[in-house]
């Protein structure tokens, strides 16, 4: 069972992001070096730290690491920000990532590079519709993906990331609980397949991962028979079925270091290739195809909202101290409960796996 979403809203936001990105002017090497120097100075002056997602521009990822910041997934970014002594967190990513950081660090100022940087999964689950969905299924435990608003997290019982979702749902199933899942239907189907849990699914998708094509991927695999296929579980089931490794961004990066294959076909946002090439520079990386015959590009696997984060916008945010994430405290507290439930489960799960009690 799935729940329908407002596709027009997502399409309009996507078009706005693409239009904004088309206006961005590329920087020369000299201009970029000058800008990076200025940003480093501002980070010190403003007592700020930069956290960046694997999907944003490589220059932002490099700058985060060069200045004592962090590159990772949304929850890792938020956890790093909570532990860092800086009074201001600058989030290079999309809006829900800024909200997640604020949920964990209410005492800090959290700024995002562009407050119009959305996420199709977040947009697909507005709080009013999601609350109604929960009300229709009062006997189910609401488990939501991290790619949701603070308000949706507050309405949920659990918040999960792709790295822990299967473990959490399996735990709940073993407790005899039935699951209400939102918003990514592909990840939901994958979890359902892995756990056998009784789940009703929201009908959301990531516009990047949903575009991967199994038929074109099979053709590409024939061209590179020694390649390993790495797939994020937000992808369609027929793409997941072709994977050598299915997992979170961190798991896919780790796979490039542990697998012996000389070539990797990567089915996730191509922003991740920057980190993959850094950790395994002797390997070859190929973007999984998002278009079949007649497509305008072989792979268009880059989130238009992630592309809205730029060095220029980072400088502006640091100078102006704008684009601040502000949350209602009651909502934040409820969202924190669902988020911390997952974090506590993760600690117990990891400790148990390593024999630590």
- What pLDDT, on the 0 to 100 scale, is given for residue 259? 98
Residue 3's pLDDT is 45
Report the alpha-carbon distance of residue 348 to residue 339 in Å, rounded. Answer: 15
Cα(352)–Cα(344) distance, integer angstroms: 12
The fold for domain 122-207+331-353 equals: Rossmann fold (3.40.50)
Please name which of 269, 241, 272 lies closest in space to residue 255, comparing C-alpha atoms: 272
Instruction: Please tell me the predicted confidence (pLDDT) of residue 356.
Output: 42
**Per-residue model confidence (pLDDT) at position 346:** 87
Q: Which CATH fold topology does 209-287 show?
A: Rossmann fold (3.40.50)
What CA–CA distance (Å, rounded) separates 255 from 263?
A: 12
Q: Structural domain boundaries of the chain?
A: 2-119+306-326, 122-207+331-353, 209-287
Q: Do domains 2-119+306-326 and 209-287 have the same CATH topology?
A: yes
pLDDT, residue 11, reads 79
The pTM of the full predicted model, rounded to 2 decimals, is 0.92
Interatomic CA distance for residues 206 and 54, integer angstroms: 16
pLDDT of residue 199: 98
pLDDT value at residue 38: 97
Find the helix or strand (DSSP H, E) in which 143 lies: strand 141-145
pLDDT in 10s for each residue of the chain, 357 residues: 444 456 777 878 888 888 888 888 889 999 999 999 999 999 999 999 999 999 999 999 999 999 999 999 988 999 999 999 999 999 999 999 999 999 999 999 999 999 999 999 999 999 999 999 999 999 999 999 999 999 999 999 999 999 999 999 999 999 999 999 999 999 999 999 999 999 999 999 999 999 999 999 999 999 999 999 999 999 999 999 999 999 999 999 999 999 999 999 999 999 999 999 999 999 999 999 997 544 456 668 999 999 999 999 999 999 999 999 999 999 999 999 999 999 999 888 765 654 443
**Superfamily for the 2-119+306-326 domain:** NadA-like (3.40.50.10800)
d(C-alpha 275, C-alpha 281), whole Å: 10
Contact 85, 312 (CB under 8 A): no
Q: What is the pLDDT of residue 297?
A: 61
Residue-level pLDDT at 352: 63
pLDDT at 9: 78
């Amino acid at each position: 069972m799935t729940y329908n979403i407002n596709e027009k809203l997502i399409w309009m936001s996507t078009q706005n992001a693409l239009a904004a990105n088309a206006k961005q002017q590329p920087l020369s090497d000299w201009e970029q070096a000058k800008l990076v120097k200025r940003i480093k100075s501002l980070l010190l002056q403003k007592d700020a730290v930069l956290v960046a997602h694997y999907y944003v521009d490589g220059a932002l990822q490099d700058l985060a690491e060069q200045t004592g910041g962090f590159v990772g997934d949304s929850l890792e970014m938020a956890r790093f920000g909570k532990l860092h002594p800086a009074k201001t967190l600058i989030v290079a990513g999309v809006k829900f990532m800024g909200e997640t950081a604020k949920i964990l660090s209410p005492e800090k100022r959290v700024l995002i590079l562009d407050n119009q940087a959305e996420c199709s999964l977040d947009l697909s689950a507005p709080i009013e519709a999601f609350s109604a969905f929960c009300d229709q299924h009062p006997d189910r435990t609401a488990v939501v993906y991290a790619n949701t608003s603070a308000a949706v997290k507050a309405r949920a019982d659990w918040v999960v990331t792709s790295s822990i979702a299967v473990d959490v749902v399996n735990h709940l199933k073993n407790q005899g609980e039935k699951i209400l899942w939102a918003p990514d239907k592909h990840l939901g189907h994958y979890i359902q397949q892995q756990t056998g849990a009784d789940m009703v699914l929201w009908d959301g998708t990531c516009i990047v991962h949903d575009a991967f094509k199994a038929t074109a991927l099979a053709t590409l695999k024939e061209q590179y028979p020694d390649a390993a296929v790495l797939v994020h579980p937000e992808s369609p089931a027929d793409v997941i079925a072709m994977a050598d490794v299915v997992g979170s961004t961190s798991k896919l990066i780790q796979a490039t270091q542990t697998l012996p294959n000389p070539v990797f076909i990567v089915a996730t946002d191509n922003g991740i290739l920057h980190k993959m090439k850094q950790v395994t520079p002797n390997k070859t990386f190929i973007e999984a195809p998002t278009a079949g015959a007649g497509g305008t590009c072989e792979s268009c696997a880059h989130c238009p909202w992630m592309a809205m984060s730029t060095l220029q916008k980072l400088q502006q945010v640091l100078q102006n101290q704008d684009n601040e994430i502000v949350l209602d405290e009651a909502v934040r507290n409820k969202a924190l409960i669902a988020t911390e439930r997952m974090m506590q489960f993760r600690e117990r799960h990891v400790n148990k796996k390593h024999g630590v009690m």
